[in-house]
Amino acid sequence: MKRILAVISLAGWVAGVAPLVAAPGHAQEPAAEPAQAQITQEALAEEEQPPPEPPLVAEARRIVAHLDAISAKVLALQDQADAAEGEDRLVLDKQIMESKLEFLAVMGRLVDNLHAQEKKELDASQLRARLEQDLIELTPAIVAHIDEAEGTLARLRKEREAIPPEELLAADQRITKEVEWLLTLYQAYVDQVFRQKKVGLDNSAPRADLTQRLESRAELMAGRVRLVVDQLAQLQQRAEGREGDAAIAAELAVLGQRKKVVAGALGIVVKMMAALDLEVAAYQQLLITTTGEVTADIFRAKVAIGLFDQWIQEAKEWVLENGPRFVFRLIMFFLIVFLFKLLSVLVRHIMQRAFGSGRVETSRLLRDMTLSIVSNAVLILGVLVGLSQLGVELGPLLAGLGIAGFIVGFALQDSLANFAAGMMILGYRPYDVGDMIEAAGVFGKVNHMSLVSTTILTIDNQTLIVPNGKIWGDVIKNVTHQSVRRVDMTFAVSYGDDVEHVERVLQEMLAEDRRVLAEPEPMVKLHKLNESSVDFVVRPWVKTDDYWDVYWDMTREVKRRFDAEGIKIPFPQRQLHVDSGSAGSAT
pLDDT-above-90 percentage for the chain: 14
Please indicate, yes or no, whether residues 377 and 398 belong to a single structural domain of this protein: yes
Give 182-193 pLDDT, tens digit per residue: 888 888 888 888
Please indicate, yes or no, whether residues 293 and 304 belong to a single structural domain of this protein: no
Least Cα distance to 100 among 148, 61, 156 occurs for 148
Give 70-115 pLDDT, tens digit per residue: 888 888 888 888 888 877 887 887 788 888 888 888 888 888 888 7
Report the domain count for the chain: 4
Domain residue limits at 488:
484-565
* Residue 68 within any structural domain of the chain: no
Helix residue ranges, H only, 120-160: 125-160
The mean pLDDT value for 247-257 works out to: 79
Give 390-406 pLDDT, tens digit per residue: 767 666 666 666 666 65
Residues in the chain: 587
* Residue 343 within any structural domain of the chain: yes
Please indicate, yes or no, whether residues 391 and 453 belong to a single structural domain of this protein: no
Lowest mean per-residue pLDDT among 273-282, 312-321, 375-384? 312-321
Q: Which amino acid is at 567?
A: I
Collapsed DSSP state (helix, strand, coil) of residue 42: helix
Give 450-472 pLDDT, tens digit per residue: 878 899 999 888 999 999 888 88
The mean pLDDT value for 366-387 works out to: 80
Please indicate, yes or no, whether residues 405 and 304 belong to a single structural domain of this protein: yes
As to burial, measured by CB atoms within 10 angstroms (0-12 exposed, 13-18 middle, 19+ buried), residue 460 is exposed
Which residues make Cβ contacts (< 8 Å) with residue 386, sequence separation at least 6?
332, 333, 334, 336, 337
Please indicate, yes or no, whether residues 227 and 286 belong to a single structural domain of this protein: yes
- Identify the pLDDT of residue 549: 92
Collapsed DSSP state (helix, strand, coil) of residue 38: coil
- Sequence-distant contacts of 201-206: CB under 8 A, at least 24 apart: 201/132, 201/135, 201/136, 206/139
* Residue 264 within any structural domain of the chain: yes
Which residues make Cβ contacts (< 8 Å) with residue 371, sequence separation at least 6?
348, 351, 352, 355
Please indicate, yes or no, whether residues 406 and 308 belong to a single structural domain of this protein: yes
Question: Which CATH number characterizes residue 529's domain?
Answer: 3.30.70.100
Domain-ending residue, one of 237, 272, 297: 297
Please indicate, yes or no, whether residues 316 and 395 belong to a single structural domain of this protein: yes
What's phi and psi for 454, nearest 5 deg? -130, 130
Tell me: pLDDT of 195 over 60: yes
Give 560-577 pLDDT, tens digit per residue: 999 999 999 987 766 677
What's phi and psi for 38, nearest 5 deg? -70, -20
pTM above 0.95, yes or no: no
List 443's β-bridge partners, or say none.
438
Higher per-residue pLDDT: 306 or 99: 99
* Residue 397 within any structural domain of the chain: yes
* Residue 150 within any structural domain of the chain: no
- Identify the pLDDT of residue 260: 84
- Identify the pLDDT of residue 409: 58
The mean pLDDT value for 300-304 works out to: 58
Give 117-156 pLDDT, tens digit per residue: 888 888 778 788 877 887 888 888 888 888 888 888 888 8
- Give the C-alpha separation, 163 to 408, whole Å: 52
* Residue 528 within any structural domain of the chain: yes
Please indicate, yes or no, whether residues 237 and 335 belong to a single structural domain of this protein: no
Q: Calculate the alpha carbon distances from 513 to 147, 353, 406, 519 in Å.
A: 116, 40, 61, 14
Higher per-residue pLDDT: 163 or 316: 163
* Residue 250 within any structural domain of the chain: yes
Helix, strand, coil share of the chain (percent; to 5): 70, 10, 25
Please indicate, yes or no, whether residues 449 and 515 belong to a single structural domain of this protein: no
Tell me: pLDDT of 298 over 60: no
pLDDT band at 586 (very low <50, low <70, confident <90, very high): very low
- Give the C-alpha separation, 22 to 123, whole Å: 9
Domain-ending residue, one of 261, 276, 297: 297
- Identify the pLDDT of residue 508: 92
- Give the C-alpha separation, 4 to 487, whole Å: 114
Least Cα distance to 371 among 383, 390, 355 occurs for 355
Lowest mean per-residue pLDDT among 115-119, 202-206, 445-449? 115-119
- Identify the pLDDT of residue 412: 58
Averaged confidence pLDDT in the chain: 78
- Identify the pLDDT of residue 23: 37
Please indicate, yes or no, whether residues 463 and 490 belong to a single structural domain of this protein: no
pLDDT band at 50 (very low <50, low <70, confident <90, very high): low
Least Cα distance to 67 among 131, 9, 140 occurs for 9
As to burial, measured by CB atoms within 10 angstroms (0-12 exposed, 13-18 middle, 19+ buried), residue 502 is buried
Q: Which amino acid is at 530?
A: N
Which residues make Cβ contacts (< 8 Å) with residue 81, sequence separation at least 6?
89, 92, 93, 96
Domain-ending residue, one of 233, 264, 297: 297
Least Cα distance to 17 among 65, 78, 60 occurs for 60
Give 469-500 pLDDT, tens digit per residue: 888 888 899 888 888 999 999 999 999 999 99
What's phi and psi for 539, nearest 5 deg? -135, 85
As to burial, measured by CB atoms within 10 angstroms (0-12 exposed, 13-18 middle, 19+ buried), residue 283 is buried
pLDDT band at 319 (very low <50, low <70, confident <90, very high): low
The mean pLDDT value for 289-312 works out to: 59
Tell me: pLDDT of 259 over 80: yes
Tell me: pLDDT of 410 over 80: no
- Identify the pLDDT of residue 527: 92
Please indicate, yes or no, whether residues 281 and 318 belong to a single structural domain of this protein: no
H/E element, 543: strand 541-543
As to burial, measured by CB atoms within 10 angstroms (0-12 exposed, 13-18 middle, 19+ buried), residue 84 is middle
* Residue 308 within any structural domain of the chain: yes
Question: Which CATH number characterizes residue 460's domain?
Answer: 2.30.30.60
pLDDT band at 21 (very low <50, low <70, confident <90, very high): very low
Please indicate, yes or no, whether residues 319 and 404 belong to a single structural domain of this protein: yes
Give 516-557 pLDDT, tens digit per residue: 999 999 999 999 998 889 999 999 999 988 998 999 999 999
